[in-house]
Amino acid sequence: MDSIQIVLEYFARYGLIFVFIIIFLEYLNFPGLGAAIIMPALGIAVAKANMNFIVVLCISVIAGSLASYVLYGISYWFGQPILTWVYNKFPKTRNSIDKVCQYIENYGDKGVLIIRLLPAVRTLIPFVAGMFRMNVVKFSIYSTLGIAIWNSVFMYAGYAFGYYFI
């Protein structure tokens, strides 16, 4: 509950800039920023502040997409050395990364959308897509669609809770 309260306080203080920064960092896999807490908390804050849900959702999708492009670009140019380092430093991550690679190999571009909707691996997809040198337009379409679905579901859950119960 403390994490949600912190998100609400920062949202009240910094508004949409906070939304952009916190979502951008979450999609960069910044440690400690879990979407399961952030998205519903933003939804509650939007309901409490009588803000436009669609505007906040759009900002969250833009922030998530931009962070995804950053990871895509990094992995496009430096993916294999980074992957080798991650496998050596954090061997337990190998299984998750290999699952994402398998989805891309099996489902191609549509695998991006599928992975974007899976909790444990959804933020790994830009890294893998960049390493696979996936077409950036197709990556953008499926990734943005997945981000929009994920963010809207979790934010709306918080919004509905905040609107009806708080």
Residue 19 scores a pLDDT above 70: yes
DSSP alpha helix (H) spans, 90-108: 94-107
Give the mean model confidence (pLDDT) for residues 30-43: 81
With 80 as the cut, is the pLDDT of residue 147 above it?
yes
**Structure confidence at residue 4 (pLDDT):** 67
Q: Which residue, 130, 127, 125, 93, is CA-closest to 110?
A: 125
pLDDT score recorded for residue 30: 83
Question: For residue 38, what are its two tokens?
Answer: 């952030």
* pLDDT tens profile 63-100: 999 999 999 999 999 988 988 998 899 898 888 888 88
Higher pLDDT, 159 or 5: 159
Which residues constitute the domain of residue 89?
A: 2-165
Query: In angstroms, rounded to a whole number, what is the distance separating the alpha carbons of residues 137 and 143?
Result: 10
* Joined tokens for residue 90: 């954090």
Q: Report which of 27, 35, 112 is spatially closest to residue 65, judged by C-alpha positions.
A: 27
Q: What is the pLDDT of residue 123?
A: 83
The number of distinct structural domains making up the chain is 1
- Structure-token match 């900002």, residue found: 59
- Token pair 């119960």 in the structure block, residue: 165
